[in-house]
Amino acid sequence: MKKIMISLFCVLNLSACQPQKVSQQVQQQHFICKALIEGFLKTQNLNDYQFLSLQPSLTETATQRTYEYRLNDERQMQINLPNKKHLEFQCDQSSAKHFKISLAGEGHVMLSLMHLDLPQASTFQQLTAYQQPK
């Protein structure tokens, strides 16, 4: 009986260490949201911010995710650093093709930054320079 309990304990511990599977839809959503946020940071010359955290995690399906970026501490010796150490972005996916990026302002009021409507699959095929072999 003791061996069975030890074996069961080991199996449960090992299964808890297995990485959670992330669906292709969640991966695509994360890729688009993160690319839009980092593109915004680059266009605003806010290159000193780096990704810190994400809520909810990528193991959960969600239509809204919060991305937190922080000011890179290694570069604080520069003179013209932004005065906010943390930026909180919200990415909303209201449909399979519509994304909205917002930034938390004063009092956590969300300021809409951009919207993206992905084109239809047929449009992607026309725009793609190379095709995957079937």
Residues 99-114: tens digit of each pLDDT:
999 999 888 799 999 9
Q: Residue ranges of the domains in the chain?
A: 19-120
Torsion of CA 71, 75, 78, 80, to 10 degrees: -20
Q: Global pTM? A: 0.74
DSSP character for 92?
E
The pLDDT score that the predictor gives to residue 122 is 77
Q: Are 112 and 91 in contact (CB under 8 A)?
A: no
The pLDDT score that the predictor gives to residue 91 is 97
Strands 110-117 and 64-71: unpaired
Rounded CA-CA distance 60/21 in Å is: 10
The pLDDT score that the predictor gives to residue 103 is 96
Among candidate residues 91, 79, 75, the one with its CA nearest the CA of residue 38: 91
Q: Each residue of 17-40: pLDDT tens digit? A: 555 688 999 999 999 999 999 999
3-state SS, residue 49: strand
pLDDT-derived band of residue 12, with 50, 70 and 90 as boundaries?
very low
The pLDDT score that the predictor gives to residue 6 is 46
The pLDDT score that the predictor gives to residue 22 is 83
Among candidate residues 48, 49, 45, 84, the one with its CA nearest the CA of residue 67: 49
DSSP character for 106?
G
Comparing 53-57, 59-63, 78-82, 120-124, the range with the smallest average pLDDT is: 78-82
Q: Each residue of 59-100: pLDDT tens digit? A: 999 999 999 999 987 655 555 666 788 999 999 999 999 999
